[in-house]
Amino acid sequence: MSFFGAILQPVVNHVIPAQLQISCLVAMRRLYAGSLSYDTTEEEIKELFESYGEITSLTMSYDVEKKHHKGFAFVEYATAEAAALALKKLKGVTLNDRRMKLGRPQAALRYQTLLAQLEMDGRASARVYLGNLPKDVSLEKIESVCRQFGGLKSLCKDSQRSAFVEFDSLVAAELIQRRGQKVTLCGNEISIGQVITPLGLPIPRGSSFNNTSSNSARKQAHKRKRSCTEIVKNPLVDCPLNKKIKV
């Protein structure tokens, strides 16, 4: 059976090869936005989508003869969690008097079965993704908001404006997700979604990761894995990605 053929087979006993999980999650970071008005600009798309997480790339194809874009764009996030949240919240949204068509690129469809498995595993955990955080907000302020819903086991800033939180109970994680964007921090409505990425899985942010990855990409992945592992030892340590954390 081919590598991609295996993706479509049911996952047995929840044992999923790490490389397969990485390939799936990298593919799921990208979204397709279609049926866009020709008046819509890249800046407007960025402003609409960045409420759900850090955007690493925004691509629009332009028609040189007609001197405008072709009515669609590809948005790539730093994490699969941000993309999943945007897909959920922005479906059917109207932008410049046009109802935007939002979905995953064709290349990601081969991973749907595996994604469903990862999402199911994520729902069974007490981990939550937070987006649209105020820039450079402290871990202490994030902690104070999260503790309104229950005790915390770990808190890790994924970027300047996003974080992963692990509660000490599934009830607390479900409660904060039910509140949705009614949760605010320093005036910002926080975007809240479930975690898809398994704890400690090494995924380089903002770059593709596949079987032909370079040695430097593998080194970045190794550093990411160490960061995610060490954060558990000291739950409230900031964890800039790809940097060693002293605990």
User: For 101-115, how does the pLDDT look when each residue is reduced to its tens digit (9 = 90+)?
Assistant: 999 999 899 999 999
127-131 and 101-103 beta bridge pairing:
unpaired
Is the per-residue pLDDT at 236 higher than 50?
no
Q: Which CATH architecture has domain 17-118?
A: 2-Layer Sandwich (3.30)
φ and ψ at residue 190, rounded to 5 degrees: -80, 135
Q: Domain residues of the chain, as ranges?
A: 17-118, 124-230
Stretch 24-33: mean pLDDT: 96
Query: pLDDT-derived band of residue 39, with 50, 70 and 90 as boundaries?
Result: very high
What class has domain 124-230? Answer: alpha beta
Alpha-carbon distance values, 83 to 31, 55, 192 (Å): 7, 9, 12
Q: Do the domains spanning 17-118 and 124-230 agree at the CATH topology level?
A: yes
- Whether the per-residue pLDDT at 226 is higher than 80: the answer is no
For residue 208, give both structure tokens: 């593709």
- 115: nearest Cα among 16, 192, 49: 16
Contact criterion met (CB below 8 Å) for 83 and 29: yes
Closest-CA residue to 221 (of 190, 196, 197, 194): 197
Reading the block at residue 187, the tokens are: 């005036």
pLDDT, position 244: 29
The model's pTM is 0.77
